[in-house]
Amino acid sequence: MNGKIFVANCGNDSVSEFVNGDPNSAINIPLGATPLPGEPGFKPFGIALDTDGNAWVTNNFNDTISIIAPAGQLIHTLPALISPQPC
């Protein structure tokens, strides 16, 4: 938090963090290993911050949630707990 801006980079399976909105402070945080050709990646989409400053990132392509610490390191990737329901 504290003036940080997070951007989900759907095209390269990462999140960018900008301190105080400064583009020169940008760090790129990979969400995992680069997938093999033809395999799904992460495709991060939405980001929410908790009260501890961790960024929770929803990953559309593999139905996971990645957690990034305030210092910018990936803490953990969790499986989504909600399964699709039939209509």
Q: What is the pLDDT of residue 69?
A: 94
Which H or E run includes 17? strand 14-18
d(CA 32, CA 66): 9
Half-sphere exposure of 81 (CA within 13 A, CB side): 1
**pTM (2 decimals)?**
0.81
Q: What is the pLDDT of residue 82?
A: 64
- pLDDT, one tens digit per residue, over 14-60 is 999 998 889 999 999 999 887 777 777 889 999 999 999 999 999 98
Q: What is the pLDDT of residue 15?
A: 95
Q: What is the pLDDT of residue 39?
A: 74
Q: What is the amino acid identity at position 60? A: N
Give CA angle at 32 (62, 7), nearest 5°.
Answer: 80
- Domain range summary for the chain, segments of one domain joined by +: 5-79
Phi first, then psi: give them for residue 24, nearest 5 degrees.
Answer: -75, -15
